[in-house]
């Protein structure tokens, strides 16, 4: 436990922070602000332009998070196997990361559909108007849900990271490491 993982922990945390914060700001700010554009046929263009500027940064943030997460897993592989709770938290983190990646990719697919739909009249970035073409409206309705799923999943990842941090506390680590052999010997729960 004297080994430090400052670089990979920083990549993990900063990448996740940007992924969470950027998608939340996009849902609230970019998609919300598009509704303030006077010309309803330019609202998608404004939302799409904002997301196009964010996408490369988001990709870098996700990459940093994945590199950091992988580095942390490799750096803590002994604890992952030996300490009670670390393995299950790692499985949860992997599942949440996969779901967040899938939701992010799906949001990008929907965003590309909307980019091709300019200059359709809409109420906002993810809000169709009564005269919005149905294919565009359907993509907007789906994106309206996905835009909130991504920050929810990445927020859950922040919580799992907190669990991992708590499991590294000395009083948790020793008890967690001794719990598995105790169970094998019939001494634990």
Residue 78 is predicted with a pLDDT of 86
Residue 2 is predicted with a pLDDT of 46
Crossing angle (nearest 10°) for helices 86-115 and 134-167: 160
What is the sign, positive or negative, of the torsion defined by CA atoms of 62, 80, 94, 85? Answer: negative
Total count of residues recorded for the chain: 189
Residue 33 is predicted with a pLDDT of 94
Residue 172 is predicted with a pLDDT of 55
Close Cβ partners of 174 (under 8 Å, ≥ 6 residues apart): none
Q: How far apart are CA 174 and CA 171, in angstroms?
A: 6
DSSP string spanning 56-67?
HHHHHHHHHHHH
First-to-last alpha carbon distance for the chain, in angstroms, is: 26
Domain boundaries, the chain: 6-184
Tell me the pTM. Answer: 0.86
Residue 181 is predicted with a pLDDT of 59
- Mean pLDDT, consecutive 10-residue segments, the chain of 189 residues? 80 98 96 95 96 96 98 89 86 97 98 94 96 97 98 97 81 59 64
Residue 182 is predicted with a pLDDT of 59
Q: How far apart are CA 26 and CA 98, in angstroms?
A: 21
Token pair in block for residue 40: 């309803």
Residue 82 is predicted with a pLDDT of 80
């Amino acid at each position: 436990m004297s080994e430090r993982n400052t670089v990979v922990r920083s990549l993990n945390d900063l990448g996740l922070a940007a992924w969470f914060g950027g998608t939340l700001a996009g849902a609230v700010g970019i998609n919300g602000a598009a509704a303030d554009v006077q010309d309803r046929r330019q609202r998608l263009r404004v939302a799409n332009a904002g997301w196009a500027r964010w996408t490369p940064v988001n990709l870098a943030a996700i990459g940093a998070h994945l590199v950091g997460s992988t580095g942390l897993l490799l750096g803590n592989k002994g604890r992952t196997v030996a300490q009670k709770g670390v393995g299950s938290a790692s499985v949860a983190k992997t599942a949440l990361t996969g779901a967040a990646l899938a939701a992010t990719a799906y949001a990008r697919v929907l965003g590309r559909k909307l980019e091709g739909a300019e200059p359709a009249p809409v109420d906002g970035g993810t809000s169709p108007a009564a005269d919005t073409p149905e294919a565009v409206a359907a993509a907007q309705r789906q994106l309206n849900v996905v835009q909130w799923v991504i920050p929810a999943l990445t927020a859950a990842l922040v919580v799992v990271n907190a669990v991992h941090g708590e499991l590294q506390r000395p009083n948790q680590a020793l008890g967690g490491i001794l719990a598995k052999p105790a169970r094998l010997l019939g001494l634990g729960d």
